[in-house]
Amino acid sequence: MSGQVVTAELIAVGAVVVFAGIRAFTDRKYWQAAIGLVITGLSALLAGSTGHAVDYYLPSVLMQVIGGAVFLLSILVRLPVIGVVLGTARGERFGWRRDPLQRRRYQLCTGIFLAKFIMVTAVLVPLYSHGMVTPLAIATLLSGAPAAGVCGYLCWRFLRAPGALVR
């Protein structure tokens, strides 16, 4: 079993190194490539140290749990993550907080991402705890960029439509 884990680790890390290199040289987004390398490296180290392939996905499971907690906390303290990020990106800083409609929209968008974190956690935790590596790999893959893309699209729709769902 341990030999298979090591082989899988080497393939995963090698693939990420290649893709990170391509991404860094074509997009010049070094930090994203570096984060991908670090997460993959830590996952591979964890799986290699325990000898259980399922442990490769533990960082992904934990990131979903932590992400959900952060998004929930941001809603509870009325400083939604989406508002902070978009307010900074748009140069508004925290000016959006004075606009009740915009504040509700940012709360809604943060809630959309929170729902994603909750659903993904509800799927990944049982798969991880039962050692179901293949379904866990598929679920982790789908819960990444595809799920975030759907959330981003929904938020874009709510933020661009005047009075959409919040009045």
Most confident of 39-43, 63-67, 89-93: 63-67
Reported confidence tier of residue 164, pLDDT bands at 50, 70, 90: low
DSSP secondary structure string for all residues of 3-23: HHHHHHHHHHHHHHHHHHHHH
Question: 118-142 pLDDT, tens per residue?
Answer: 999 999 999 999 999 999 999 999 9
Phi-psi region of 78 (alpha: psi -120 to 50; beta: other; left: phi over 0): left
User: What's the confidence (pLDDT) of residue 5?
Assistant: 64
Average pLDDT over residues 99-105: 92
Look at residues 158, 141, 133 and name the one whose alpha carbon lies nearest to residue 50. 133
For the stretch 133-139, contacts whose Cβ atoms lie closer than 8 Å and that sit 24 or more positions apart, written own/partner, are 133/53, 133/54, 133/57, 136/54, 136/57, 137/57
Reported pTM: 0.80
pLDDT higher than 50, residue 10: yes
Mean pLDDT of the residues in the chain: 86
pLDDT higher than 90, residue 52: no
